[in-house]
Amino acid sequence: MRYQLRDEDGAYRSVAYLMLAAVPVVFVTGIVLPDEHPIGWVVAISLTVAVMAAGGALARWRPRRLPRTFWLVVPFVAVTLIAGLNVASHDASAGSQLFYLWPVIYTANFLSHRNTAVVLVMVSGGHAAVAFAALGLARGLMDWISLTVALTLTAVVIASLRNRNERLRAVLSSQALADPLTGVANRRSFDSSLVRAVARDEPLALMTVDIDHFKSINDTWGHGVGDQALQAVASCLRTVAARADDVVARLGGDEFAVLMHADRMGARRAADEVRSALAAVDGLACGAPGLSIGIALFPDHAGTAEELRAASDAALYEAKEAGRGRTAMAHPPSPRRTISAAG
């Protein structure tokens, strides 16, 4: 995360608005208001204004054309530019030092804490260069300390708020992708995981699971016991999701899915292990519920995510039709269907 740019769109807008707004300010304060207009100074300010206008326009309307490093180095360039203008004009006024707020806020909000610390050191050094020369030792020291402390506290507050916001976003993201009752992935999360897994073109097994006669459990024992049964099934399914990228999901109601890296024998063994783990669960008033399981393999039974889901659903339907409480394996695509699809 050290060199990662957080919230790229926000960074683009921040740079664009700052540079475009600074163009008239720099022009007025650098050329219009001063009584003297040395040629070198006018040329330097004019070039600065032109570069800022071009950079602001690109950042606003064509941000993707700028290299990624631009967004990482722009606060350091801004500090250097502000310090250089202040030193050249011998301006230690509060107004001139307020320009330092932008690179500090930008870095604290969009870059890492280490980058923020470097910017603060640069700001402190840049202000010291003009404060001691323009205000003398005593006044310059007080002014330098005041600015350094104020901008450091500003950076700390912004970084703290950013960290809190990121934690809240992480919690909300987790809640949006998880089933609130069982804690496993929800359908939205599972669909995305399935597409990504198939795109990696690795052997996969998709196990679709239904709780047998779940409506009877709710009708007989109540929805509280039904919820306990759902939680128990989810917990048992987790035990067979051995790899970090295996996914257990509740697709809705009493239907679950497990996406795992396994071959035919591994998938069948996982189904048996789930049944054994569920049979060993104590405390369910309804007893261990039965499970109907359909298994499909990629690429044996399907070539796409949708086909894999359909093959697993068909196998689950076959398990139910055979009497429930069973595991059924999907069938390879028929040669006729394969030839038709190829044509």
The catalytic site residues sit at 254
Answer for the pair 93, 109: CB distance below 8 angstroms, yes or no: no
For residue 105, the SS3 value is: helix
Q: Which of 284, 287, 278 lies closest to 224, judged by CA? A: 284
- Cβ-count burial 187-221 (b if 16+ within 10 Å, e if not): eebbbebbeebbeeeeebbbbbbbbbbbeebbeeb
Instruction: Report the distance separating Cα 306 and Cα 9, nearest Å.
Output: 33
Instruction: Report the distance separating Cα 103 and Cα 26, nearest Å.
Output: 16
Instruction: Report the distance separating Cα 339 and Cα 337, nearest Å.
Output: 6
* List of E strands, 189-244: 204-211
Q: Which residues pair with 295 in a beta bridge?
A: 207, 329
CA angle 264, 268, 272 (to 5 degrees): 170
